[in-house]
Amino acid sequence: MFCWGNATHHELCIDGSENLDLIIKPTISKWKESGHVQSVAAGEFHSLYLTNIGHLYSCGNNDVGQLGRHTKDDDGKYPGSLVETFKGCNLSAIACGLQHSMAIDEWGQPFSWGSDSMGQLGSNLGAHAQDKPKIIKLLATKNLIQIACGSYHSIALTNNGELYTWGANSFGQCGLGMMSNKETTPQQITSLVGVPIALVTCGSNHTFVLSKSGAVYGFGKNGHGQLGLQDKDNRCYPTHLKSLRNVKVCYISCGEDFTAFLTLDGGVFTCGSGEYGQTGHGSVKDELVPRKIMELMGSTVTQIACGRRHVLCRVGDRVLACGYGARGQLGCPHMAFALVPTPVPFTPNDESPTEPADSNKFSTLFNGPIRVFAGGDHSFLVVHSDKSIQADARIPDAKKQILTLNIPKLAACEVFKDDDVVNQDLMAYLETVFGSLSCLNASFLLQNSAHYGCNTKVPGVDIKKAEEAFSIISRFENTSIKELIFSHLTENVIKGVKSSPPDAEALRVFLLLPLYHEMRNPRRHPELQGPFAEAFNRLLVHPQKIVHLWWEAQTAEYFEMLVDIFKSVIVYELMQPVVRLNKSNQLHLCNYAFLFDVQCKSLLLKIDQQLQMQMAIHREVTQIFTRLFMDPTYEYHRDQFLQLTVSRNHIVRDTMLQISNHDSSQLKKPLRVEFVGEEAEDAGGVKKEFFLLLLKEIFDPVYGMFKQSEETNMIWFSNNPFEDDVMYYLIGAIYGLAIYNSIIIYVPFPLVLYKKLLDESVILDDLSDLYPTLANSLKHLLEYPDEDVEEVFCLCFAVNTVVFDQVQVHPLKENGENVPVTHENKAEYVDLYVDFLLNKSVENQFKAFNQGFQKVCGGRIIKLFRSHELMSVVIGNEEYDWEVFESNAEYKNGYCATDQQIRWFWEIFHELSLEDKKKFLLFLTGSDRVPIQGMKDIKIVIQAVADDRYFPVAHTCFNLLDLPRYKTKERLKYYLVQAIQQTQGFSLV
């Protein structure tokens, strides 16, 4: 070990008999343990030395017990004996303040000694000194991995990522969000919860914290710009130094009032006081923003170490120094200060009369790793005998990093069966990692530097590695391990997410937790998926956007998994016997329509309709009870249904009259229909036929309310109807009733109707469903490349319509009939034309229709649907799968799948034409279209009847077919084909 600089109080490890105040060039220590030193910590007038086997030595001033051992006469001048307190254990880390010292033992327990004038010992001694190391009781249960000391304050990092500070806080150097004289006991810095911390370090009155991916946070004194925040204002809370976000800072060292940052590529940035050239920029001015040392450009710096007013840099085979040097700390004889990094001259022994040409290159003279240390006004160079020691500060010491999930540790858990006793060390590891948001966010980072600069595009997570790890976790059999993981993730991690995280690195948990296999278990949603979703919803706009972008950037498989997680929870809840779906839940779900496919939305709509029906019935009961209470003589007739009684001959008149007499609450009841003179009980089938007949008649051109496209047979609102808007209102309500009562009805409305019902924008393509020739002509106009549009097309901003053989002109804009369509305004013309045909020309008609529709079907749930989805729910589809139809069949009253009549039936059915198959579907179910859930949602039940003189009979309400036991296949076919031609009318069967 070599040392140089101030030795006034014998803080340098040299022979104390020499009585030298200054060592002006690197001098080898003659102390017998100097060849085994692992690290050095230096205060202003004392130093600590930690050996490779964890033994602690100290020397220098001991006025307040900062050496941790009793000294007499010249005992403090030389580190001759061990600090007795630690003779029975090994230490892992040491740190020095101005007059206090700290150490961590092999179990992560912290010790402190020396002055406690500002509470820097963390033991609340009331300003007394402590001459022997004692454990900091409030941190005794924590496992510390890093410590650092300022002049009068201290900071510690635990293995689960927690930060604690104590001591002087008049500049805010404790980072607790307020300034105070002192904090006498350790306090947690909660503002950085969730950020995976890699390093802590202190200047005299300021502190820096570095994250795993290079985020730099500073707090405390900033009078010289040492926090790098472009000003000189002190900070009492960790403040992100954003200017360094993308330079990949990997190590930080602090001086008295300046700071040095080492980057992965070997560059050095400095900021703060430059009074003695310690910032290395060739001047003595303060630097308020971190600035790269240009003198080191082209070199790769592997280590930096700051003293009070000087800095050391290791560059290849050399050590360079800059800053204050009047006390020999630069190692350059007679140099009072250096404004730029200057090579430290070095010779292998002090007796060499002249220095060789390569005297600045020291690494070639030693067989082992070399590290530099600095503190106060002195410097150290340690040559390690252990070649495995990491001497590059850019590579973090694995033993001093917070715990993370790693595959070997997880794989070790697989061997434990359900009732096995798990060893305590492994359980402690699992408890730490799965109980810490910071540890999870530090796990599975991309290799090398790929995880640095965590932002909207770079989460820095190796998803493949994470998937592998969580796959192992899913195979765990031991109950204790599984319960520990689940409880810690739900109680500590998810609940620990802040609404405004300090950095994007704290959001990685939103990428990792969906990989946990229990997230795919919907029964866990009260403790797991629900709180996870709530944690996301609590995020402020910017962090929520980051997570959105991360999710979107993942593979399709990952995103589908994410959607399935929450979809499965909703479906699980909806399928419960008593659905726990209330208004607030609906509002919440409607914000996340993207989570649900159309089948799930359809199910949600059905459940919502059932709830509204129940609420309508409950309201009526309440009203009846109130009236009876007010008037006991009141005679009431309670009907839990919306009862419509109509004749087949006057179905439109009867329906309109009865609908108009009911208020909104009545329309919310379950619908029941009765045809005059018919005795069929309406269990579903009568309603189907009712809507089929009613809507067929309503849309008959004879009423003039709707017109049919000659090109596509689609129907649209008439722009000159015979009836008033009230009729459109009632038709809208009827259309809504069909949807509300889950009746599939095929009305050839174009997609644009559903777009308008859902307030989606109408575009030119929507015109194609009604008027494809016109739509193509308008597209041709838009695509026409030449300037002579006016001459070729001869159009103006007006539309002509024919009403009762009279041509009416409709200007599309003011004086439109006199405004020609040109190359410049043709896009405007097309937009106005489409708007006129699909919106303005039928504005009143659609408005009334929509009001009637929304009166029955309106609400947040309907807004979940996209227009094409709602259309498929209303009219079904024609995606027939007859094999599924057969495989889904059930048999009763003596029939089974192997019976001769059943085999004949299916042979005959599959031989039918598509049109006859559709007729059979209409005969059986009341509709020839397929529900949104597909053919699997149509379950035919075939039951045997004895008398083969009758036709097959369909109980449409129940999809039940009475099939007689016909003696021949031909007879069965004849009767079946004849039966399916009769699809109107119900009788009591």
Q: In whole angstroms, give the CA distance from residue 353 to residue 49.
A: 31
Exposed e or buried b per residue across 431-450, where buried means at least 16 C-beta atoms within 10 angstroms of its C-beta: bbbbbbbbbbbbbbbbeebe
Strand order in the sheet with 301-306: 301-306, 310-315, 318-324, 337-343
Exposed e or buried b per residue across 947-961, where buried means at least 16 C-beta atoms within 10 angstroms of its C-beta: eeeeebbbbbbebbb
Q: Is residue 769 within 8 Å of residue 751, measured between CB atoms?
A: yes
Q: In whole angstroms, give the CA distance from residue 151 to residue 174.
A: 12
SS (H, E, C) 203-264: CCCEEEEEECCCCEEEEECCCCCCCCCCCCCCEEEEEECHHHCCCCEEEEEECCCEEEEEEC
- The first and second tokens of residue 662, run together, are 């009911």
Sequence-separated (6 or more) residues with CB below 8 Å from residue 620: 638, 640, 665, 669
Q: Is residue 778 within 8 Å of residue 812, measured between CB atoms?
A: no
- The first and second tokens of residue 336, run together, are 């009072």
Sequence-separated (6 or more) residues with CB below 8 Å from residue 428: none
Q: In whole angstroms, give the CA distance from residue 849 to residue 872.
A: 20
957 is a catalytic site residue:
yes
Q: Indicate the SS3 state at residue 700.
A: coil
For the chain, what is the largest distance between any 2 Cα atoms, rounded to a whole number of angstroms? 130
What's the Cα-to-Cα distance from 546 to each of 388, 549, 553, rounded to whole Å? 41, 5, 11
Q: Is 553 exposed, middle or buried (0-12, 13-18, 19+ CB in 10 A)?
A: middle
Strands (E), 529-624: none
Other Cβ atoms less than 10 A from the Cβ of 65: the count is 22
From 3, 236, 250, 957, the catalytic residue? 957
Q: In whole angstroms, give the CA distance from residue 651 to residue 420.
A: 74
Q: Is 618 exposed, middle or buried (0-12, 13-18, 19+ CB in 10 A)?
A: exposed
Q: What is the DSSP string of 931-984?
A: -TT-GGG---EEEEES-TTS--EEEGGGTEEEEE--SSHHHHHHHHHHHTT--S
Q: In whole angstroms, give the CA distance from residue 200 to residue 148.
A: 7
Q: Which residues pair with residue 799 across a beta bridge?
A: 810
Q: Is residue 396 within 8 Å of residue 198, measured between CB atoms?
A: yes
Q: Is residue 438 within 8 Å of residue 161, measured between CB atoms?
A: yes
- The first and second tokens of residue 208, run together, are 């820096």
Q: In whole angstroms, give the CA distance from residue 764 to residue 758.
A: 18
Q: Is residue 460 within 8 Å of residue 450, measured between CB atoms?
A: yes
Q: Is residue 833 within 8 Å of residue 810, measured between CB atoms?
A: no
Q: Is residue 844 within 8 Å of residue 725, measured between CB atoms?
A: yes
Sequence-separated (6 or more) residues with CB below 8 Å from residue 541: none
Q: In whole angstroms, give the CA distance from residue 745 to residue 739.
A: 8
φ, ψ for residue 812, nearest 5 deg = -85, -15
Strand order in the sheet with 37-42: 37-42, 46-51, 56-60
Specify the DSSP element, H or E, that contains 717.
Answer: strand 715-717
List active site positions: 957
